[in-house]
Amino acid sequence: MAKKKVKRVDLIFKGCDCNKVLTDALKMPKEEIIQMLLDSELKGRGGAGFPTGLKWKMAAAEKGNRKYIICNADEGEPGTFKDREILDQIPLKVLGGMALAAYVTGAREGFIYLRHEYRFLIPKLEKTLETFHQWMEDFELDFTVKLFIGGGAYICGEETALIESMEGKRGEPRNKPPYPTHDGYLGKPTVVNNVETLVYSMMVMHIGSGEFKTMGVKGSSGSKLFSISGDTPKAGIHELELGMSLDDFVKEFGDGNTKSVQVGGASGFCVPRNRFKEVHVGYEDGLKGYSIPTGGSMMLFNSSRSMYNVLHNYLVFFEEESCGQCTPCRVGCQQLLKGVEAVKYGEKSHKYLDDLLHLAATMKLTAKCGLGQSVANSFSSIVENFREEMIY
Amino acid sequence: MSEKMINLVIDGKKIAIAEGTLLLEAAKSENVKIPTLCYHEDLCVAGNCRICVVEVEGWRTLPVACATPVMEGMVVYTNSPLVRRARRDVLAMLISEHSTQCTTCYRSTNCELQDLAAEYNIDNEIYINLLKDKVFTIDRSSWSIEKDESKCIRCQRCVRTCAELQKVNALDVIHRGAQMRVTTFFDTEMSDVVCTNCGQCINHCPTGALTERRYIDGIWDAIGDPTKHVIVQTAPAVRVALGEMLGYEPGARVTGQMVTALKRMGFDSVLDTDFSADLTIVEEAYELLQRLKRKLVNNEDIALPLMTSCSPAWIKFIEHMYPDYLDHLSSCKSPQQMFGAIAKTYYAKKRKLDPKDIVNVSIMPCSAKKFEANRMEMKDSGYPDIDLVCTTRELGHMIRQSGINFKELPDSEYDNFMGESSGAAVIFGVTGGVMEAALRTAYEVITGREVPFEGLNITSVRGMEGIRDAKIKLENVLPEWSFLEGVELAVAVAHGLTNAAQIMDDVVIGESPYHFIEIMGCPSGCIGGGGQPIPTNDEIRKKRAEAIYTEDEKKKIRKSHENPEVIKLYKEFLGAPLGELSHKLLHTKYTRRERV
């Protein structure tokens, strides 16, 4: 597979006639829409990368006439700020994606789970919903969408914790299986998609799966919004093709002195300069060599930054934002934080970092949810690559 | 319908097992023990402690056996290097936030965390002690339950117990991350929260975070005080569970040995709550008949169904949750309290004792009895009916403290007066028992004949289903009860407060078809009480229940109204059931309480 240089794309925010896209799509048989999504190899843009077509197919196959579509707008990963822009600029495309999902699965109700901090979007979204519901009437699609305002917990971005909180319970992840497509909100089949994923489902309908697949690389097709921050002259939201190497990325976005890039936010991986060439941005199974998926957060750090401070900052965040339900995440986060502090202050030998790396490995293996399994990613990648900064 | 079978491999052994089986159960069926902490068979699966992780070939992470169903072709390892290391780490993490003062812990040697830590040889020095920066004070505000958060492993078994089994929700989780902890609703003191004191949380706690408030020292002090006459009474369910504290298998009947032990410990009189259970039955049966009469003959506005009042957890539950329906409760005090009232009046007189010198100690399978004994209204004789209450577990500890080799003890009989009892009283200890005992008496009072069941065993009210009901047709009744001729007496039995709530919801909407309902606060009744030995689970509850029924069958007297001491008590002291003195000493009233 040939390496792709950083390629800018202008798809998501570009004007398109949503009404027309929906008009055409809703005339198609449901199976055909699913097939188009499967062909496009569109994967969840929230970070986990589950094939969207497959998720819809699974929900569509469930019996019963009460199903739900939930748009996950609980954008809480530190360093991610693209969903906010999408909801602000192109909310109809998001709703369009939800309508597609509803049409395919037979759901009649949908929710936008909006994070508490994005309340300012409510008036605009409510207005858009009026338009959207009028469209639904015109299309004779029995589908209504409501807003649900989250309480602000990071963990509620995890789909089952999100569902729990919608049901009025503590936002704590559930055991899987069962998966939400089978047993979700109120025990009914539920599709939970990231804001951006829903927009891309509309884009696949708009440009076709073939065209979509010309972007990106095998296994990581299409483009994605990146939230770029840190030591970069070009901070902000950029739509790029998937599959680029970090080397190319840094050439485009770095400030000439980039020491490392944190890919995937606080729960993602820290890549040091000497590995930029071999590391690519995309889904794990699609790229040769080392590839890292991301919900879009790309944080660049230059040599003036203390990686200890970077890590410490993440750990403080996780120590507070773990739901606290399962042992590895609740205790592990505290141990990692207290552990790096103890090593830094000389209360523990530098060898303790090895114990903590073992602990981090256990956390990844045993935590209950995707978040708990990934909180230690930043720890292990930073400690492995910047060990001296942890000690001195 | 034939179940679909799933083929998988566990630790190299191929097995086929029904679809939907959890890995934990599948492993158990192959005699493979997987350690658990947050799992309890009484409760829904939580999957939060992560100790039961196993390795599955091809899986990225280690799934928990308690929450993962078997899948076709799965290759599972329950004891691989990866699994062992992960379990050790999980344990080490739990211990790093746990007060490891095991030497001074009430649950020492009966603690699931301690057992696993020993099994896995956990090095307490690996990770940083997280308790150092946190200040926890032990909550001793409740008469019944102590809460020590420094020993909590946040498995949420108590939370699930209180919500699922008891529908009380006194305990819940607050905050998140490092601050996450299990505490009372609104983080109030145990004494202020809506809590029934049932102690099921204690019984389901894997560690020493929740324990009964202990009165052991007070009891020793009383025994050691020569000016005091210390009476001990033992509840029916204690005798079939105490053995578990002292080296016997569940289901052992140790009545005689228990009595010997209590005598050797120095109690002045070892008596039986069963005596007052018989007394309760007589009072309650007459109360039922009186209510039926006032309703059916006098057309008075009398609350029916009548509901039993022996379970103090149930009493507090209804006071909080259904305060408008307190008139449905029998006004009878519980056997414990009746015993206390009689001991400080009739017994005192008979033994020429000043009631102020009598110390009434009761051994109960229950933590709510501690609260009940301290209710303001429970001192109709002018003295507190009951002075000190301890649980089956506390008694186990006391017997060990006294250096008695329990297993070697000979049997002995209860002292008298107030040591005689019927089989009907013994079965008070199991769900359905009060109903059966009441029916044995009420039926005979009404018809002059024994209940029409073989061996007096009213099997239709026995069993473990959450709610059971039965009907008994009253025919050829005695002239005095002619208004009951042809009436089909409808009764129900419920145990566990979630089931009680279901019964009450029918009462509230006026659709309860029953005349008389027995409710016990704890699953399976007192044999599964919050003061019983730990562990308590379905299998153990069943064994204790079997032991209770055997105890009943071995009794010479099987009906409460035939207890000669009860007959004598009425003759010499009380007069008649529901008489003036009965009302003063044996009956009580209830308190409306807030729901929050």
With an 8 Å Cβ cutoff, is A359 touching chain B? Answer: yes
My answer on whether B259 and B395 are in the same domain is yes
Residue B475 designated active-site: no
My answer on whether A132 and A262 are in the same domain is no
Task: Find the angle CA(B199)-CA(B28)-CA(B52) to the nearest 5 degrees.
Answer: 65
Residue B580 designated active-site: no
- Count of beta carbons in the 10 Å neighbourhood of residue A28: 15
My answer on whether A134 and A196 are in the same domain is yes
> Domain count of chain B?
4
Residue B421's pLDDT is 96
Cβ–Cβ gap B176/A373 under 8 Å: no
The answer to whether residue B418 is domain-embedded is no
Min distance A169 CA to chain B CA atoms (Å): 11
The answer to whether residue A10 is domain-embedded is no
The answer to whether residue B556 is domain-embedded is yes
My answer on whether B239 and B342 are in the same domain is yes
Cα atoms in the Cβ-side hemisphere of radius 13 Å centred on B264 = 19
With an 8 Å Cβ cutoff, is A327 touching chain B? Answer: yes
The answer to whether residue B581 is domain-embedded is yes
Min distance B159 CA to chain A CA atoms (Å): 12
> Domain count of chain A?
3
Min distance A328 CA to chain B CA atoms (Å): 6
pLDDT at A296 over 70: yes
Residues in Cβ contact with B352 at an 8 Å cutoff, skipping those fewer than 6 apart: none
* The model's pTM: 0.95
Residue B330 designated active-site: yes
The answer to whether residue B423 is domain-embedded is no
Which chain A residues are Cβ-neighbours of B68 within 8 angstroms? 175, 177
Residue A254's pLDDT is 96
Q: For residue A331, what are the domain limits?
A: 307-387
DSSP state of B344: I
My answer on whether A183 and A201 are in the same domain is yes
Segment B154-202, tens digit of pLDDT: 999 999 999 999 999 999 999 999 999 999 999 999 999 999 999 999 9
Cβ–Cβ gap B48/A368 under 8 Å: yes
My answer on whether A24 and A108 are in the same domain is yes
My answer on whether A84 and A197 are in the same domain is yes
Residue B189 designated active-site: no
Residue B20 structure tokens: 């939907």
Q: Which of B34, B37, B127 to mutate to test the interface with A (most CBs of A within 10 A)?
A: B127
Using alpha carbons, list the distances in angstroms from residue B563 to A298, B7, B447: 83, 60, 19
Residue B244 designated active-site: no
CATH code of the domain in which A366 resides = 1.20.1440.230
DSSP run (H or E) holding B217: helix B216-224
Last residue of a domain, one of B46, B79, B112: B79
My answer on whether A46 and A136 are in the same domain is yes
Last residue of a domain, one of A181, A213, A245: A213
The answer to whether residue A13 is domain-embedded is no
Instruction: Give the closest residue to A329 by CA, choosing from A342, A339, A319, A338.
Output: A319
My answer on whether B496 and B576 are in the same domain is yes
My answer on whether A184 and A60 are in the same domain is yes
Residue A375's pLDDT is 94
- Looking at chain A, the whole-number percentage of residues with pLDDT higher than 70 is 98
My answer on whether B107 and B63 are in the same domain is no
Q: Are A301 and A262 in contact (CB under 8 A)?
A: yes
Residue B2's pLDDT is 62
Using alpha carbons, list the distances in angstroms from residue B582 to B272, B294, B311, B337, B346: 19, 19, 20, 12, 12
My answer on whether B433 and B580 are in the same domain is yes
The answer to whether residue A290 is domain-embedded is yes
Segment A141-165, tens digit of pLDDT: 999 999 999 998 999 999 999 999 9
Q: For residue B128, what are the domain limits?
A: 102-212
My answer on whether B358 and B253 are in the same domain is yes
Residue B405 structure tokens: 């080799």
For helices A370-385 and A352-366, the axis angle rounded to 10 degrees is 150
DSSP state of B15: E
Which chain A residues are Cβ-neighbours of B178 within 8 angstroms? 319-320, 322, 324, 330, 333-334
Cβ–Cβ gap B67/A175 under 8 Å: yes
Last residue of a domain, one of B161, B179, B212: B212
The answer to whether residue B58 is domain-embedded is yes
Min distance B132 CA to chain A CA atoms (Å): 12
Instruction: Give the closest residue to A86 by CA, choosing from A195, A235, A242, A234.
Output: A195
- Count of beta carbons in the 10 Å neighbourhood of residue A188: 18
With an 8 Å Cβ cutoff, is A19 touching chain B? Answer: no
Last residue of a domain, one of A272, A302, A332: A302
My answer on whether B241 and B370 are in the same domain is yes
pLDDT band at A48 (very low <50, low <70, confident <90, very high): confident
The answer to whether residue B417 is domain-embedded is no
My answer on whether A171 and A65 are in the same domain is yes
With an 8 Å Cβ cutoff, is A297 touching chain B? Answer: no
Between β-strands B13-18 and B5-10, what pairing exists: parallel, antiparallel or unpaired?
Answer: antiparallel
With an 8 Å Cβ cutoff, is A328 touching chain B? Answer: yes
Q: Which of B70, B80, B90, B185 to mutate to test the interface with A (most CBs of A within 10 A)?
A: B90
My answer on whether B159 and B236 are in the same domain is no
The answer to whether residue B218 is domain-embedded is no
With an 8 Å Cβ cutoff, is A333 touching chain B? Answer: yes
Cβ–Cβ gap B176/A334 under 8 Å: no
The answer to whether residue A137 is domain-embedded is yes
CA distance B448 to B561: 12
My answer on whether A171 and A68 are in the same domain is yes
CATH code of the domain in which B293 resides = 3.40.950.10
Cβ–Cβ gap A175/B64 under 8 Å: yes
Residue A290's pLDDT is 81
Annotated catalytic residue within B311, B332, B526, B543: B526
CATH code of the domain in which B241 resides = 3.40.50.1780
Stretches where chain B sits below pLDDT 50 are 1
Mean pLDDT of A50-65: 96
Q: What is the distance, to the nearest Å, from the Cα of residue A250 to the centroid of all Cα atoms in its chain?
A: 21
Residue A1's pLDDT is 42
My answer on whether A60 and A134 are in the same domain is yes
Cβ–Cβ gap B49/A326 under 8 Å: yes
Q: Are B385 and B254 in contact (CB under 8 A)?
A: no
Min distance B142 CA to chain A CA atoms (Å): 27
My answer on whether A242 and A274 are in the same domain is yes
Q: Are A357 and A380 in contact (CB under 8 A)?
A: yes
Between β-strands B229-234 and B269-272, what pairing exists: parallel, antiparallel or unpaired?
Answer: parallel
DSSP run (H or E) holding A46: none
Compute the mean pLDDT over every residue in chain A, rounded to the nearest whole number.
95
With an 8 Å Cβ cutoff, is A364 touching chain B? Answer: yes
My answer on whether B203 and B230 are in the same domain is no
The answer to whether residue B93 is domain-embedded is no
CA distance A25 to A20: 8
DSSP state of B411: P
Last residue of a domain, one of B182, B212, B242: B212
My answer on whether B526 and B434 are in the same domain is yes
Cβ–Cβ gap B179/A320 under 8 Å: yes
Residue A287's pLDDT is 61
With an 8 Å Cβ cutoff, is A358 touching chain B? Answer: yes
Task: Find the angle CA(B81)-CA(B87)-CA(B90) to the nearest 5 degrees.
Answer: 140
Last residue of a domain, one of A236, A267, A302: A302
My answer on whether B251 and B366 are in the same domain is yes
Annotated catalytic residue within B38, B52, B198, B310: B310
pLDDT at A117 over 80: yes
With an 8 Å Cβ cutoff, is A339 touching chain B? Answer: yes
Which chain A residues are Cβ-neighbours of B69 within 8 angstroms? 177
CATH code of the domain in which B135 resides = 3.30.70.20
My answer on whether B162 and B201 are in the same domain is yes
Cβ–Cβ gap B48/A326 under 8 Å: yes
First and final C-alpha spacing in chain A: 42
CATH code of the domain in which A153 resides = 3.40.50.11540
With an 8 Å Cβ cutoff, is A331 touching chain B? Answer: yes
Residue A2's pLDDT is 45
Q: Which of A182, A341, A365, A369 to mutate to test the interface with B (most CBs of B within 10 A)?
A: A365
My answer on whether A178 and A84 are in the same domain is yes
